[in-house]
Structure 1
Amino acid sequence: MIVSGATIVDGTGGPGRVADVRIADGRIAEIGRIGGGLDATGLVLAPGFVDMHSHSEARLTDPGFTAKARQGVTTELVGQDGLSYAPVSPSTSDGVRATITGWHGAGHPGFASVADYLAHFDAGTTANVAYLVPHGNIRAMAVGFENRAATPEELDVMRGLLARGLDEGAFGMSTGLTYVPGMYAGTGELVELCKVVASRGGFHDTHHRSYGAGALEAYAEMIAVARESGCALHLAHATMNFPPNKGRAAELLSLVDEAVSGGLDLSFDTYPYLAGSTTLAALLPSWVAAGGPAATLERLADPALRERIRHDMEVVGPDGSHGVPMDWSTVEIGGVADPANSHAVGKRVSELPGEPFIAYVELLLADRLGPTIRQHVGHEENVRAIMTHPAHTAGSDGLFAGAMPHPRAFGTFPRYLGHYVRETGVLTLEECVRHLAATPARRLGLRDRGLVAEGYAADLVLFDPATVADTATYDDPFGEPEGIPWVWVNGEAVVADGKPTGALPGKALRS
């Protein structure tokens, strides 16, 4: 395969140059004046994009999944936010699945080991898949879903499970410190586990304890964990959201710069949208979620507890909603597990019949914690400032369950290229490609991906800089990207002339 006459933006951040590229045996075999093949005059050839915060576990049941391929994504990092499908045990499988029903729908029963999980993808999919050991999974296996500290013996079990997952190919550990059971882990537990990650050369990818009232303190805690453990740090969806953080991006970036200047290996990802997305149940105070989904439902159904829950959510500000008292008008239902509750989809909680808090609780009960939400709490000036930092990478954080998921699942990468490069000029094209490809590949330690260079894996995207755009919106989240006619994974086209090819050249990547 030869791609001729494209402007190569190679991922280094340097200026583009016109050249031809020959692909052979899954690799970039030659760059220069070759001629022939696919005429790409006027188009940009870039390294395939790396989604550093992906929830594309849909690949487990649909290896031909194309939502990311159409965006030019050739590698996805899954196992995010401390919860996924490996490792699980017979005693934790149901609890893990129920906890993340809102993320992935009914989901997969899971795998006993990371090795089994990765082997599943070796059969082929539309993008390469990298994995993180989810802290919540191993804590559930050692401690359960209880709100308490791990005993020394339980911490040893977690160390062993984590070491095994890393040795089987995971790139690091993810934590979800506003989700059950990860939210019950103390700083000391995280330090001890991050020492295991550091010993294997991995990194800690963290959804920390607050993105709202306590955001800066939560970021600082994760930096302190990294320093004490010696572990590299990646901050997941590093936003400054909710009213208390309007205009405060510079404070986060100052914290990052201080850490980096002190020698910390730190990176972070963001999505280019103002709304967040999670499950409706995630907004609850942590004490309500203790013990897992069944215990949560029992507490929600208890009239004696409802006023305590209401007070925590509407007056105090629950830890599940980042310490900010609930504004029900910002919480939009994106999907439900039971079609009988579909009347709620697309509505703000404040628009549901009856008093908002009661409507919230009744929907959680009726849908058994299944609803997903889009939470409109972001600030454009923060989004723009954070994406320009050199440690920034892109992460879609997109969920695919529900009738109206967040459009970031379908539009993140073309939105960077179209809106934030061409339309607003927040990033140059060369800077943006570096953020989308080379920087995340370096974080993962992928020595032969993330650049257009001879000898590198032929993970490539060909796009039109004049037309590339996202079409997914909050009203129509399934819109397909425009201006991305070709995408190659390991040298094989997964998108050709703008259409998925059905090819499954993607594989599991191992650290």
Structure 2
Amino acid sequence: MWDVVIAGGQVIDGAGNPWVHADLALSGGRIGAVGEGLRHEPAHRRIDAAGLIVCPGFVDMHTHSDIQLLGTPTHEAKVMQGVTLEVLGQDGLGVAPLSDECIELVRSQLQAINGDPPNVHWDWRRFGEYLDAFDGKVATNVASYVGHGTVRMNVMGMEQRPPTEGELTAMQTIIDQAMRDGAVGLSTGLTYPPGMFASDDEIVTLCSAIRRYGGVYCTHHRSYGAGALQAYQDSIEIGRQAEVPVHLAHAQLSFPVNKGRGRALLGLVDQARRDGVDVTMDTYPYAAASTFLRAIFPAWAHAGGEAALLGRLRDSATRQRLRHEIEVEGTDGAHGVPVDWSLMQLGGLSLPQHQEFVGLRVPEAAARTGQPPFDWVCDLLIAERLGGVIVWHIGDEENVRTIMHHPAHTVGSDGVLVGDLPHPRAWGTFARYLDTYTRELGLFTWEEIIRKMTSLPAQILGLRDRGLLRPGMAADVVCFDPLRVRDTATYEQPRAFPEGIPYVFVNGVAVKDQDRHTGNLPGQALRRGQHGRSDR
């Protein structure tokens, strides 16, 4: 007897094949059968999927749910839009492994995007112990990169210098252990400290620790503004030298300097692939970005950690130097482009006296205090102990649409779940691809967009039992109405759930049933070497 039979839907298998009318049978957390007539076989439950598309569960290739998923394990933001696998440890900013000496440093460094839920105790140290915290305790599956920035903090703290040979070996050892514990690769965040202190040669050397395990190098590279194409080329070159696959995180081209340059990026990707470098990418379907407010400062200002940065913000002479670099020259933290404060919208602040500023652009908020924007931002960061998240309206819709067409493109929300007015991409990315870019604009067929959300991400991560509706595969399944699916999250009301996605199954267990979250927590950590993982 089957556990569940989903009958009469338009089945899209995830591989890009044309849809077929078929039934889908689930048993023991796996897909038992796909075909006609299964609706007549014994089952504990039957779902009438007439009029619905039935497809594999969606994979969010770029998330910042590392702590929030443990704090709110039902994870409605993603479950309600059909996500069944979250890929954590992004931008070099993972939360494992942790030494006793660096745990508070990492915790403080990432609080602005992770929050600090009181029910998350940060009691893991090894990477594998962190993955253990998810097994059977959360609604979605997870996989995770090991973050280069976190590894560097474990070994070097926040020092801005090259590593010694001993420190480089220590970082390789940590990465090797994380890979043996189940990491899917190494991520970097090269506009964030301490990742921005590293040379490309350092990254190439550290990638040797993932090569032997078939790991992926996933990079938030050095610039999405001035010099963005060179930064993409440098990322590809790291993969070429290290002989590892390269995944380009949130592969956008932002700021007016990059208007209309999407095809140039795709040309770099195509050439690399012709040369034998396995390059893939992900994007979210929005022109606006989101990041830490403090990220706009140059690398030298971050050297030594948070206390050192706060001291520099308080020093009048240093503040004048920072003002010139940020507003006139453009810093490495702000992608080499002079900051236009009018493009920055405040998404999340922690102190009660600052809540009136949430949702405002920086000049409007600064005007309430009579200060210039730069000084207001510095004083705000001092008061907030460097906390604060912004929505940064710097994107180009033409580039967004151009890049998403590439066959090596996947979907990643880059969603931040904290703040009073966060970016809507955490709640709307997948429905927006289905609604706006597929049904309304016709940029994709259903088969094409579903491949980008399912089998292609699973292929990149090497998860052989995910991403396809075939017998023996894991039963991560989504049912949605192609006529009704709709993204409702907006910049004004970001925490709005999509419509038209009535059923979601994770490992054969319903987590969304008739448009309602069930409260079930069947998610598992998908570790390298398990769950069908094989070396690439």
- With the shorter chain as reference, the TM-score category is over 0.9
Equivalent of 2:419 in 379, 402, 406: 402
* Alignment match, 2:531: none
* Alignment match, 1:9: 12
Q: Distance in 1 between matches of 2:436 and 2:360?
A: 27
Matching of residue 99 in structure 1 with residue 112 in structure 2: no
Equivalent of 1:424 in 441, 445, 455: 441
Q: Distance in 2 between matches of 1:339 and 1:18?
A: 55
Deviations along 1:373-420, one digit per CA (max 9) or x if unpaired, are 000011111000100100000000000111001000000000000000
* Alignment match, 1:41: 50
Deviations along 1:216-247, one digit per CA (max 9) or x if unpaired, are 11111111111111011100000011110000
Give the gaps of 5 or more residues in structure 1.
none
Q: Distance in 2 between matches of 1:376 and 1:285?
A: 20
Q: Distance in 2 between matches of 1:341 and 1:113?
A: 37
Instruction: Please say if residues 441 and 450 of structure 1, whose CA atoms lie closer than 8 Å, have aligned partners that are also in contact.
Output: yes
Instruction: Please say if residues 105 and 337 of structure 1, whose CA atoms lie closer than 8 Å, have aligned partners that are also in contact.
Output: no
Structure 1 segment 82-481 matched on structure 2, within 5 A: 82-106=92-116, 110=122, 111-352=124-365, 353=367, 354-481=371-498
Instruction: Please say if residues 93 and 109 of structure 1, whose CA atoms lie closer than 8 Å, have aligned partners that are also in contact.
Output: no
Q: Distance in 1 between matches of 2:300 and 2:444?
A: 42
Deviations along 1:464-511, one digit per CA (max 9) or x if unpaired, are 000111100000001111000000000000000000000001011101
- Identity across matched positions, percent: 49
Q: Distance in 2 between matches of 1:339 and 1:157?
A: 42
Q: Distance in 1 between matches of 2:445 and 2:397?
A: 18
Q: CA deviation at 1:153?
A: 0.8
Further displaced range: 26-35 or 310-319:
26-35
Further displaced range: 491-500 or 135-144:
135-144
Q: CA RMSD in A?
A: 1.0
Instruction: Please say if residues 94 and 145 of structure 2, whose CA atoms lie closer than 8 Å, have aligned partners that are also in contact.
Output: no
Deviations along 1:100-135, one digit per CA (max 9) or x if unpaired, are 121012365633111110010113211101011110
Further displaced range: 230-239 or 33-42:
33-42
Instruction: Please say if residues 314 and 325 of structure 1, whose CA atoms lie closer than 8 Å, have aligned partners that are also in contact.
Output: yes
Q: Distance in 2 between matches of 1:503 and 1:336?
A: 32
Q: CA deviation at 1:12?
A: 1.2
* Alignment match, 1:27: 30
Instruction: Please say if residues 94 and 109 of structure 1, whose CA atoms lie closer than 8 Å, have aligned partners that are also in contact.
Output: no
Instruction: Please say if residues 223 and 259 of structure 1, whose CA atoms lie closer than 8 Å, have aligned partners that are also in contact.
Output: yes
Q: CA deviation at 1:194?
A: 0.8
Instruction: Please say if residues 341 and 366 of structure 1, whose CA atoms lie closer than 8 Å, have aligned partners that are also in contact.
Output: no
Q: Distance in 2 between matches of 1:196 and 1:221?
A: 20
Give the gaps of 5 or more residues in structure 2.
41-45, 529-536
Instruction: Please say if residues 55 and 399 of structure 1, whose CA atoms lie closer than 8 Å, have aligned partners that are also in contact.
Output: yes
Deviations along 1:300-324, one digit per CA (max 9) or x if unpaired, are 1111211100000000001111000
Equivalent of 1:69 in 62, 79, 82: 79
Q: Distance in 2 between matches of 1:440 and 1:298?
A: 43
* Alignment match, 1:79: 89
Q: CA deviation at 1:281?
A: 0.4
Q: CA deviation at 1:55?
A: 0.7
Equivalent of 1:50 in 44, 59, 65: 59
Instruction: Please say if residues 82 and 136 of structure 1, whose CA atoms lie closer than 8 Å, have aligned partners that are also in contact.
Output: yes
Secondary structure in structure 1 of the residue aligned to 2:77? coil
Secondary structure in structure 2 of the residue aligned to 1:130? strand
Q: Distance in 2 between matches of 1:218 and 1:350?
A: 30
Deviations along 1:23-65, one digit per CA (max 9) or x if unpaired, are 1111110111212521110100010000000111211222122
Secondary structure in structure 2 of the residue aligned to 1:239? coil
Q: Distance in 2 between matches of 1:9 and 1:137?
A: 39
Secondary structure in structure 1 of the residue aligned to 2:522? coil
Q: CA deviation at 1:18?
A: 0.5
Q: Which runs of 4+ in 1 moved over 3 A?
A: 107-110
Letter in 1 for 2:63: S
Deviations along 1:197-219, one digit per CA (max 9) or x if unpaired, are 11111011100000000111111
Secondary structure in structure 2 of the residue aligned to 1:231? coil
Q: CA deviation at 1:265?
A: 1.1
